[in-house]
């Protein structure tokens, strides 16, 4: 039986088509698929949920980052009073790499703007810069209604930045060019779910020897079109060892980090974030050697976790994919240059968040260190995500009082409210007026904090339903109007608006919206029933 199975496997393997053979992993053709997938799909990667993003795009994590960045801002200001003067003609720049749909940036800015306005540093300007290599995403951000007030206030700008090659930023709105010559203040770089999706290399340590693991790409069928994005589902990767006899890179620091792994680690495979490190070299030059990097991703931040690893798992997300990130190597990059690395004190479940600072001594970034301990370690966004997803996976609906507590903890997260909507709908029938006011306040906060991207669930519609059940008819009409604006005309929305007007005893308006509902769906039984009821009421009142 075993021999038969081996023969069958060998026959299948022989039928595979080799697309490329023994290439350095970072130079493999798979990265071309990656770029094309993000360029072709654009914002749909996030709107349809193809690319996971909730873990790094919720109000809780954005508030944590804002507090950490503001602590660094205070450290920079304090250092400027002594050794590193601020250039007040320039803002304090916060640059997000791969800003995706823009939801994280929106949440971050709402919190950071508040921290800035309430501080003694409010006279020092700041500017947030959203970047991506795809112009379609930048166009989407520039036209997004929720970002317009931030643009008008001069707090937000956009730039095209290709992590693989660009060495400067040209801001689209202000036309300011950030180069090593004119970027005089320290910078902040945010990189969530970025380094897991860009080229990496793979090395192996076997009996103390360092090998580069060269990739060979196979397909299940001939591939005449190597730009076919669907090919990602048909290929697999195998690896061959090539002994490393000298430094594999032009940068001695990169070679030094690898040599230390060779010296200290047992047999293992190591992903090496080569493109991330080269990008950080460029940012170091651009920022004059002074910057803070905060990165959230799946990966390894402890050297002991790098031991006894096998070939890297590649997770696919539609036509895109991702790998683990070696945060420990990034930390070594900073430490070897006199910088600082902050890694989580405990192993993460879903998201490792590490921070790295360069250009300041340990004593000069005490507030940054303290803030990291508070908002990343003690009250971890990874722990919050685990709590929310566990409740979701178990289909647990909390008691309304508990759901309100979680909403406050979440910084008014729309997903938390929606997951517990059934409990609120059930409770409002018997709730006191005081508790209804608490629910109404929560609804207002969630909506004020919401950044729509056209996802399938219509938040405004559900909020309108909840407010209708609470008999807050005027407010319900307001939210149902938001639903029409964002998702277009809908018979159910018109019917619910008719119910609200009926509750307000505005029979003519109620009939108007019943007619609108039936014009879109003549078979809508509930709207038909309401029309009969309205006709009877209007006839009775006319008498």
Strand partners, 192: 296
Backbone angles phi, psi at 115, to 5 degrees: -60, -40
Rg (CA), the chain: 27
| CATH class in words for 44-197+278-378 | alpha beta
Instruction: Report d(CA 516, CA 534) in Å as an integer.
Output: 14
Residue 1: the pLDDT is 31
pTM for the model stands at 0.92
Query: What is the β-pairing status of strands 156-160 and 352-358?
Result: unpaired
Asked if the domains 44-197+278-378 and 385-542 are classified in one and the same CATH topology, the answer is no
DSSP letter for 228, please: -
Residue 156: the pLDDT is 98
**Contact, 214 vs 24, CB < 8 A?**
yes
Domain segments of the chain: what residues?
Answer: 2-39+199-271, 44-197+278-378, 385-542
CA distances from 274 to 47, 296, 330, 400 (A): 30, 17, 10, 49
Contacts 24+ apart (CB under 8 A), 217-223: 217/18, 217/19, 217/20, 217/23, 217/28, 217/29, 217/30, 218/16, 218/17, 218/18, 218/19, 219/16, 219/17, 219/19, 220/15, 220/16, 220/17, 221/17, 222/17, 223/17, 223/19
Instruction: Report d(CA 38, CA 43) in Å as an integer.
Output: 8
**Contact, 217 vs 30, CB < 8 A?**
yes
**CA proximity to 520, closest of 486, 543, 495:** 495
| CATH class in words for 385-542 | mainly alpha
What is the residue-level pLDDT of the chain in tens, covering all 543 positions? 333 334 454 445 557 899 899 999 999 988 888 888 888 878 888 887 777 889 999 999 999 999 999 999 999 988 876 666 677 778 999 999 999 999 999 999 999 999 999 999 998 999 999 999 999 999 999 999 999 999 999 999 999 999 998 988 999 999 999 887 777 889 999 999 999 999 999 999 999 999 999 999 999 888 887 777 788 888 889 999 999 998 999 999 999 999 999 999 989 999 999 999 999 999 999 999 999 999 999 999 999 999 888 888 888 887 788 999 999 999 999 999 999 999 999 999 999 999 999 999 989 999 999 999 999 999 999 999 999 999 888 887 789 999 999 999 999 999 999 999 998 998 888 899 999 999 999 999 999 999 999 988 999 999 999 999 999 999 999 999 999 999 999 999 999 999 999 999 999 999 999 999 999 999 999 999 999 999 998 888 776
Kindly give, in sequence order, each residue whose CB lies less than 8 Å from that of residue 127, ignoring residues fewer than 6 positions away: 91, 92, 93, 94, 154, 155, 156, 157
Buried b or exposed e, range 83-113, using 16+ CB within 10 angstroms: ebebeeeebbbbbbbbbbbbbbbbbbbbbbb
Instruction: Report d(CA 93, CA 360) in Å as an integer.
Output: 17
Return the C-alpha torsion angle 522, 526, 531, 537, nearest 10: 180
**CA proximity to 289, closest of 360, 350, 352:** 360
Token digits of residue 259: 């040599």
**Contact, 75 vs 69, CB < 8 A?**
no
């Amino acid at each position: 039986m075993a021999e038969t199975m081996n023969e069958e496997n060998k026959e299948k393997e022989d039928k595979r088509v080799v697309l490329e053979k023994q290439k350095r992993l970072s130079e493999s053709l798979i990265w071309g698929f990656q770029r094309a997938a993000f360029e072709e799909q654009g914002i749909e990667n996030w709107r349809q949920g193809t690319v996971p993003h909730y873990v790094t795009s919720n109000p809780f994590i954005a508030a944590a980052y804002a507090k950490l960045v503001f602590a660094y801002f205070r450290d920079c200001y304090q250092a400027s009073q002594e050794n590193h003067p601020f250039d007040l003609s320039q803002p304090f720049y916060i640059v997000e790499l791969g800003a995706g749909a823009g939801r994280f940036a929106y949440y971050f800015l709402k919190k950071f703007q508040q921290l800035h306005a309430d501080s003694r540093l409010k006279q020092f300007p700041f500017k947030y810069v959203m970047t991506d290599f795809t112009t379609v995403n930048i166009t989407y951000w520039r036209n997004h209604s929720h970002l317009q007030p931030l643009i008008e206030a001069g707090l937000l700008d956009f730039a095209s930045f290709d992590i693989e090659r660009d060495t400067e930023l040209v801001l689209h709105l202000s036309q300011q060019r950030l180069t090593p010559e004119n970027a005089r203040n320290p910078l902040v770089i945010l990189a969530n779910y970025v380094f897991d999706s860009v080229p990496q290399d793979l090395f192996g340590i076997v009996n103390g020897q360092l090998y580069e693991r060269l990739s060979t790409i196979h397909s299940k069928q001939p591939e005449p079109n190597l730009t076919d994005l669907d090919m990602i589902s048909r290929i697999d990767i195998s690896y061959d060892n090539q002994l490393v006899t000298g430094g594999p890179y032009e940068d001695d620091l990169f070679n030094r980090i690898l040599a230390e792994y060779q010296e200290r680690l047992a047999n293992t495979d190591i992903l090496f974030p080569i493109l991330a490190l080269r990008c950080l070299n460029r940012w170091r030059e651009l920022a004059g050697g002074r910057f803070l990097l905060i990165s959230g991703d799946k990966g390894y931040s402890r050297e002991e976790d790098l031991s006894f690893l096998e070939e890297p798992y590649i997770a696919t997300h539609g036509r895109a994919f991702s790998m683990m990130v070696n945060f420990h190597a990034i930390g070594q990059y900073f430490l070897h240059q006199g910088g600082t690395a902050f890694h989580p004190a405990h192993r993460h479940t879903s998201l490792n968040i590490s921070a790295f600072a360069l250009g300041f001594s340990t004593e000069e970034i005490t507030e940054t260190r303290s803030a990291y301990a508070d908002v990343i370690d003690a009250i971890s966004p990874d722990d919050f995500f685990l709590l929310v997803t566990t409740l979701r996976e178990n289909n647990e609906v909390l008691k309304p009082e508990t759901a309100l507590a979680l909403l406050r903890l979440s910084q008014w997260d729309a997903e938390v409210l929606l997951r517990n909507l059934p409990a609120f709908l059930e409770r409002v029938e018997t709730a006191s007026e005081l508790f209804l006011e608490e629910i109404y306040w929560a609804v207002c906060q969630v909506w004020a904090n919401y950044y729509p991207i056209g996802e399938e669930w219509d938040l405004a519609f559900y909020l309108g339903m909840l407010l209708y059940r609470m008999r807050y008819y005027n407010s319900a009409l307001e939210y149902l109007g938001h639903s029409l604006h964002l998702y277009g005309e809908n018979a159910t929305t018109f019917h619910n608006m008719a119910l609200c007007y009926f509750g307000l005893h505005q029979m003519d308006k109620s009939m108007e919206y019943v007619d609108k509902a039936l014009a879109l769906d003549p078979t809508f039984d509930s709207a038909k029933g309401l029309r009969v009821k309205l006709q009877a009421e209007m006839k009775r009142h006319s008498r």
